[in-house]
Amino acid sequence: MKFLIAIPLLLLMAACTPKPEDTETPIKVEVAKTAEGYALMRGGEPYRVRGAGMGRDDIERFASHGGNSIRTWSTANDYQDTRALLDEAQAHGVTVALGLSMTAERHGFDYDDPDAVAVQLETVREEVLKYKDHPAVLFWLVGNELNHSYSNPAVWNAVNDVAEMIHELDPNHPVSTPISGFKPDVIAEIQARAPSIDFISFQMYGSLFGLPDLIAETGFQEPFMMTEWGTIGYWEMEKTSWGTPVELTSSEKADVFLRAHNEVLAKLQGQLIGSYVFLWGQKQERTPTWFGMLTEAGEATETIDVMHYIWTGEWPENRTPQVDSIQLDGKDYKESVVLEPGKTYDATLNVVDHDGNPLTYHWEVKPESVSIKSGGDREEPLPNLEGLLSDNDAASVRITAPVPGKYRLFAYAYDGQGYAAHANIPFLVE
C-alpha cells in the first residue's frame, strides 16, 4: 500500500523538478565600441575569441590547446545532441557560436515564397527558445554562406526577420550571418535589407591575404567576425595539366595558418572581434585531408601546433612531424605526374620529427574526386584501391599504376603520440 502511494508522490516531485534549462542563467554578450576599437564583451568583460569550427567530440583537447570558443553550423533539430555540446563546452570553459539552419537558394529554397519563409522562421524560433539561456552560448549565426551561388537578395530580408525575432526572444546574445568572401555588393545588400544583424561574419581562405586591401578600398569600418579561415581552398590552388587541384602538405598548411594570423588577422584588431579556424575535425571535401586539422583516425596535424602557439604564445611540448617533401617517380606533387598502366614506380615521403619519436607510415591510393559540390556540401568518402602498393608501412613504397584514370596517392607519418603528418600527390594514368 505504501508503494502505491509513493508512485504518485514521485510523479508529482518529478513534475515540479525544473528541467536543466529552466535554471540556466545566460551571460550577456554584446559588441561595444572602445578606445581601441570594437570589442566583444561577455559578462561586461572583453572576450577575445580563440575559436574553431568543430563538433563536440574533441572539446576537451581543443581547450587544452588554448581554444575558448567553437562555432557550429546547425542545431539540426537534435535537442539532445545540441544540449550535450553546450554542456560539454561549458564544462571546459568554452563558448559556442550557435549556428541556425536556413536553407540556401542553391538547395532549392524560394525566398519569394512567403509561406515557406514563414515556416522556416517558426522553425528557427523553436530552436532559439531551446538554447537561448544556456551560459555557453556566445552569439547566433543565421544560415551559412547564403550568398553562395545565389541571385535573390530577398534572402537577406528573411535573415533580418530572424534577427529581429531573436532580439525579441533573447536580449543577451548578438546575431550575425556568415558570408562567403568579402564582397562589397553582398555587404551592401545585407546592410540595406538586414539592419537588425549586429555584425557580419566573413569566411575566407587564400583570399584572406587580400582582406586588408579590400577593407581599405571599400572603406568598410564595421566590426566583423571571421567565422572560417584556414588553408588555401581547392578552388584557389594551382592545378595539374589535367585540371586537378594540388593540395599543400600538412606542414605547408601549418605555415599558411601562421602567416594568415600574423600577416592579416592580428593586424585587424579593433575591427575584427574574433575568429574561428576551419576545421578542427575531419571531412571529405575533394580529399579526406584538405581542410581537416585532424586525420580520419583523430590524430592532430601540424596546424594544431600552430593554433596552440597562436592561442597560448608557446609551442606545444610535443611537436607534430614535419613534411619535407613527397615524390612519385622522382617528381614533386606539383609536377603533373603521368604514369603508364601496369608499370611500377617509387614513391617517398620525407618527414622529420624534431622530438625524435620513431615514425610509422601508411599509404593509400584513391580515385580522384569527381564531386562538383561547393560551399562545404557533404561529399561521400572515396574508397581505397587495394593491391597497388608494396611496403605500405615504410617511408618509401612501390606503386603499380592502375588502369587509365585520375588518382591520388596519400602518405601519412605517425609519431606514436597522437600526431600525424600527411601529404598527397595527384597522378594521371594513361
22 — pLDDT class (breaks 50, 70, 90): low
pLDDT at 17 over 70: no
| pLDDT single digits (tens) 158-200 | 999 999 999 999 999 999 999 999 999 999 999 999 999 999 9
Ordered structural domains, the chain, with CATH: 21-312 (3.20.20.80), 322-429 (2.60.40.10)
Once rounded to an integer, what is the mean pLDDT over residues 72-85? 90
Between CA 87 and CA 95, with CA 92 as vertex, the angle to 5 degrees is 70
pLDDT at 35 over 50: yes
* Of 251, 204, 276, 243, residue with least CA distance to 54: 276
Residue positions counted in the chain: 430
Cβ atoms 233, 245 nearer than 8 A: no
Contacts for 215-224: CB closer than 8 Å, 24+ residues apart = 215/182, 215/268, 215/271, 218/184, 218/187, 220/182, 220/184, 220/187, 221/271, 222/271, 223/31, 223/37, 223/38, 223/199, 223/271, 223/272, 223/273, 224/199, 224/200, 224/271, 224/272, 224/273
Once rounded to an integer, what is the mean pLDDT over residues 215-243? 97
Cβ atoms 229, 265 nearer than 8 A: yes
Locate 166 and state its grid cell: 531573436
92-to-86, 136, 312, 349, 400 alpha-carbon distances in Å: 10, 10, 16, 38, 48
- 3-state SS, 291-351, equals CCCECCCCCECHHHHHHHHHHHCCCCCCCCCEEEEEEECCEECCCCEEECCCCEEEEEEEE
- Collapsed DSSP state (helix, strand, coil) of residue 37: strand
Check residue 403 and report its DSSP letter.
S
Query: With a threshold of 0.85, does the pTM exceed it?
Result: yes
Q: Give the number of other Cβ atoms within 10 Å of residue 18's Cβ.
A: 8
Cβ atoms 51, 71 nearer than 8 A: yes
Locate 290 and state its grid cell: 584538405
Q: Give the number of other Cβ atoms within 10 Å of residue 221's Cβ.
A: 9
Cβ atoms 280, 70 nearer than 8 A: yes
* Chain center to CA of 201: 14
23 — pLDDT class (breaks 50, 70, 90): low
Residue 216 vs residue 1, higher pLDDT:
216
7 — pLDDT class (breaks 50, 70, 90): very low
Helices 184-193 and 211-218 pack at an angle, to 10 degrees, of 60
Q: Give the number of other Cβ atoms within 10 Å of residue 118's Cβ.
A: 12
pLDDT at 90 over 90: yes
> What is d(CA 134, CA 144) in angstroms, rounded to the nearest whole number?
22
> What is d(CA 351, CA 330) in angstroms, rounded to the nearest whole number?
16
> What is d(CA 317, CA 313) in angstroms, rounded to the nearest whole number?
12
| pLDDT single digits (tens) 48-78 | 999 999 977 799 999 999 999 999 999 977 8
Cβ atoms 365, 399 nearer than 8 A: yes
* Of 21, 20, 23, 41, residue with least CA distance to 31: 41
Locate 24 and state its grid cell: 540556466
Once rounded to an integer, what is the mean pLDDT over residues 282-297? 97
* Of 159, 160, 156, 165, residue with least CA distance to 132: 165
Cβ atoms 138, 95 nearer than 8 A: yes
pLDDT at 20 over 80: no
DSSP string, 199-244: EEEEE-SGGGGGHHHHHHHHT--S-EEEEEE-SPPTTTS-B-TTSP
Buried b (16+ CB within 10 A) or exposed e, 121-154: eeebbebbebbbbbebbbbbbbbbbbbbebeebb
pLDDT at 274 over 90: yes
The pLDDT value given to residue 56 = 78
| pLDDT single digits (tens) 108-135 | 999 999 999 999 999 999 999 999 999 9
| pLDDT single digits (tens) 209-221 | 999 999 999 999 9
Sheet containing 45-46: order of strands: 29-34, 37-42, 45-46
Q: Is the dihedral of CA 387, 390, 395, 399 positive or negative?
A: negative
